[in-house]
Amino acid sequence: MEASDILVVLVGSVLIVGGIFHMLRRFIFLKSRCTAQVGGDVLEMERNERQRSVDSRSTGTYYMKYQYFVDGVEFVKKRMISKRQYKAIGKHDYYTVFYDPSKPKRHYVLELKYNMLLTLGLIAIGAVLLYYSFNSVF
């Protein structure tokens, strides 16, 4: 194996392991640890537009800033959301926040959907890199 092949294997492995770890953290670790719940309020919605060049279309990034209280302590978070969620959030201003009683900063919002497409895409890219690097060796 050449140095470039080793680099491709490393990058592919990191993408796969990182993606799997991210999904496990989201679905197993957070769901098992975050057992208490409180209500959270939306503080503000934000839309940032960015245009790469004069001729290209602008792209938008959407954020939601929300707060929740645990034992009198305020937690304020800002989370990136999808365009669909950005449009739907105007209808709701109260959310269910599940948090870890031993570490209230660790939480997830039930109504915010987790966009798994990016994570699955990175895992797929890692798998393709590994597949082609091992097939080129043999």
65: Cα separation from own chain's centroid = 15
Residues 57-73: pLDDT tens digits? 777 888 889 999 999 99
CA–CA dist 79, 46 (Å, integer)? 10
Pairing of strands 73-81, 58-70: antiparallel
Residues 7-36: pLDDT tens digits? 888 888 898 898 888 777 777 788 889 999
Q: Which residue type, as a one-letter code, is found at position 12?
A: G
pLDDT at 49 over 70: yes
For residue 41, what are the domain limits? Answer: 3-50+57-137
How many domains does the structure of the chain reveal?
A: 1
CA 24 vs CA 106, 125, 129: distances in Å: 15, 18, 22
Q: Contact at 8 Å (CB) between 36 and 98?
A: yes
Report pTM. Answer: 0.65
| Amino acid 123: pLDDT | 85
Q: Give the position of tokens 């926040």.
A: 97
pLDDT at 87 over 90: no
> Average pLDDT for residues 117-124, to the nearest whole number?
81
